[in-house]
Structure formats: structure tokens, C-alpha cells
């Protein structure tokens, strides 16, 4: 099928939008290799990699990275379990209030983060739960569940139910059907949902601010660095690391799900 090329004006507008969005990120990458004397000047006056060794030898940076990784892994694990169970229940059963439950599931990611953070903080105070690792994980899991739920239920809708019926007709029990029929079809959706959830949790700051208490995740550490101009080179290195950690899972999730319509058993 013949497709006409986009007009030059439209192409220039598209490229202009990409440059506008990504130029600040490029600046941070450049400054991460900048020399000390030219930390606030542009263009850079020199090239060095010493800030990487300085940044990743500081205990405060390592503690923040460790906490962010721990929170992201726990929140992702919770989201994978709850999001998958919720999507399976809402996909297979029709009952009164189903649409309302579906709306409640996706609401946390639609609400402004400050609203979610205030609501969680009020709930934790009412229950007498002190802010810490547990409260951060719960806060992150509220929106990570949505990511997994959306990925899994979209894949379930593209999977033919006749495969499940055929498996049962051939004598397979529920566990065998899940293991050999359903899970292979959901594999890439679960992996993509988990990677996206991990990326969102790792760099989340608004909800974390309300639920962290005295704990400092990596995004909160970066926010506190704004009042320390002498640490700008180190801050740039850490910011670069955060962008890479969050960018790679998102790209991986994109490549995993872009061919989802060709999954075996999908109702194409």
C-alpha cells in the first residue's frame, strides 16, 4: 500500500518537538562529564569522568540508590500479583459493579500525585502507621498495580477463550491450563508491565514525599541537592543514572508489547 510522505512543515514540527523535549536531558548528560571549573558554563570547557567515581563512592548516594531499588522491586512484585489477579477476575466474570471496580483500579494513576499522597498520609496517620519503607512501598504499589492491570487485561482481551476451552476438553486441569496456555500468552505483557512499574516507582517523587518520613529515596535526594550548588557535578551524574535506569525498562516494555497483536491465540 502506497503511503505519501509527510509535508516538510509537519516533519520539522515533529523534530522540533523532539528537540524541545530532549534537549534538557542532553544538557544533563553533557554536564555529567564536565570539569569542575566549568560546571556552570556552556559550552563545556573540558571532559572528565571523575564525578562518576566521586558520586558512587558517597554513602548518601549509595543509600538512596539502595532504598529506591528496594522500593521499586517490592512495589513491582506486589503490582504483578494484584494487577494480574484483578485483571483475570474482571475479564472472566460479569457482575454488578464491575465497571466501578475497574474505575477504582485505574483512578490512582489518573489522580494528581499530590492528592494520592495526601490521601495515603491521612490513612496512615489514622491507622497509626509510621512513615517508612512500608508506607513508600504501599504508596508506589497503588499506581504500579494500574500499569500491570492495563497490560494484562489488554492481552487477555486479545487471547481467544477457545484455547482455554480446548485445554479443558483435552483433560487439563486449571493449573495445567494456566501454566501451558494462559501464562505463555501473558508472559510478555507481565514482563512489560513489571518493567514499566519498576521505572515509574524508581523515579517517583510526589507520592514519596508524603509517605517517606525520614527516608530518602533517590528522587528525594536529588530534590534536596537543589539547595547545594557546589554538588552540581555529582547531582548531574546521579540524574543521568536515574534517567538511564528508567529509560531502559520503558524502551524494553515498548519493544515487548509492540508486536502483541501477533501473540498465539490472539483474536486478530
> What's the pLDDT score for residue 266?
40
pLDDT tens digit sequence for 166-200: 777 777 776 777 777 777 778 888 888 888 899 89
Q: 187 and 110 in one domain?
A: yes
Q: 115 and 148 in one domain?
A: yes
| DSSP code at position 7 | P
Residue 1, domain member (yes or no): no
Q: 114 and 71 in one domain?
A: yes
Residue 268, domain member (yes or no): no
Q: How many folded domains does the chain comprise?
A: 2
Residue 105, domain member (yes or no): yes
For residue 28, what are the domain limits?
8-48
> What's the pLDDT score for residue 265?
39
For residue 112, pLDDT over 80 is answered with: yes
For residue 243, pLDDT over 80 is answered with: yes
Residue 265, domain member (yes or no): no
Q: What residues contact 103, with CB distance under 8 A and at least 6 apart? A: none
Q: 84 and 41 in one domain?
A: no
Q: 127 and 185 in one domain?
A: yes
Q: 134 and 19 in one domain?
A: no
Q: 63 and 44 in one domain?
A: no
Q: 158 and 39 in one domain?
A: no
Mean pLDDT of 218-228: 84
Q: 85 and 24 in one domain?
A: no
Q: 103 and 200 in one domain?
A: yes
Residue 39, domain member (yes or no): yes
What does pTM read for this prediction?
0.78
Largest CA distance in the chain: 74
Residue 254, domain member (yes or no): yes
Percent of the chain with pLDDT over 70: 88
Q: 128 and 94 in one domain?
A: yes
HEC sequence for 212-249: CCCCCCHHHHHHHHHHCHHHHHHHHHHHHHHHHHHHHH
pLDDT tens digit sequence for 33-71: 777 655 556 666 677 788 888 888 889 889 999 999 999
Confidence of residue 264 (pLDDT cuts 50, 70, 90): very low
Residue, of 254 and 156, whose pLDDT is higher: 156
For residue 90, pLDDT over 70 is answered with: yes
Residue 3, domain member (yes or no): no
CATH number at residue 146: 1.10.3720.10
pLDDT tens digit sequence for 114-169: 898 999 999 999 998 998 899 999 999 998 999 999 888 888 887 777 777 777 77
Quote the CA–CA distance of 124 and 88 in Å, as a whole number: 29
Residue 23, domain member (yes or no): yes
249, HSE (Cβ side, Cα atoms, 13 Å): 21
Mean pLDDT of 85-94: 80
> What's the pLDDT score for residue 267?
39
> What's the pLDDT score for residue 40?
58
Q: 241 and 170 in one domain?
A: yes
Amino acid at each position: 500500500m502506497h503511503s505519501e510522505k509527510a509535508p516538510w512543515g509537519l516533519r520539522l514540527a515533529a523534530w522540533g518537538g523532539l528537540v524541545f523535549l530532549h534537549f534538557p536531558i542532553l544538557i544533563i548528560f553533557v554536564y555529567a562529564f564536565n570539569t569542575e571549573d566549568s560546571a556552570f558554563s556552556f559550552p563545556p570547557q573540558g571532559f572528565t569522568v571523575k564525578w562518576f567515581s566521586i558520586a558512587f563512592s558517597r554513602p548518601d548516594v549509595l543509600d538512596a540508590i539502595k532504598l529506591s531499588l528496594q522500593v521499586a522491586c517490592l512495589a513491582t512484585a506486589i503490582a504483578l500479583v494484584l494487577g494480574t489477579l484483578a485483571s483475570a477476575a474482571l475479564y472472566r466474570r460479569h457482575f454488578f459493579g464491575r465497571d466501578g471496580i475497574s474505575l477504582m483500579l485505574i483512578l490512582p494513576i489518573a489522580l494528581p500525585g499530590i492528592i494520592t499522597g495526601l490521601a495515603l498520609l491521612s490513612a496512615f496517620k489514622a491507622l497509626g502507621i509510621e512513615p517508612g519503607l512500608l508506607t513508600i512501598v504501599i504508596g508506589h504499589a497503588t499506581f504500579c498495580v494500574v500499569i500491570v492491570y492495563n497490560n494484562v487485561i489488554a492481552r487477555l482481551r486479545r487471547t481467544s477463550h477457545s484455547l482455554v476451552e480446548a485445554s479443558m476438553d483435552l483433560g487439563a486441569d486449571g493449573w495445567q491450563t494456566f501454566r501451558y496456555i494462559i501464562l505463555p500468552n501473558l508472559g510478555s505483557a507481565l514482563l512489560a508491565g513489571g518493567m514499566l512499574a519498576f521505572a515509574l516507582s524508581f523515579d517517583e517523587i510526589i507520592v514519596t514525599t508524603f509517605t517517606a518520613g525520614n527516608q530518602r529515596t533517590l528522587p528525594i535526594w536529588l530534590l534536596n541537592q537543589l539547595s547545594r550548588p557546589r554538588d552540581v557535578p555529582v547531582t548531574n551524574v546521579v540524574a543521568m543514572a536515574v534517567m538511564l535506569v528508567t529509560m531502559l525498562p520503558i524502551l524494553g516494555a515498548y519493544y515487548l508489547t509492540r508486536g502483541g497483536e501477533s501473540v498465539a491465540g490472539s483474536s486478530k
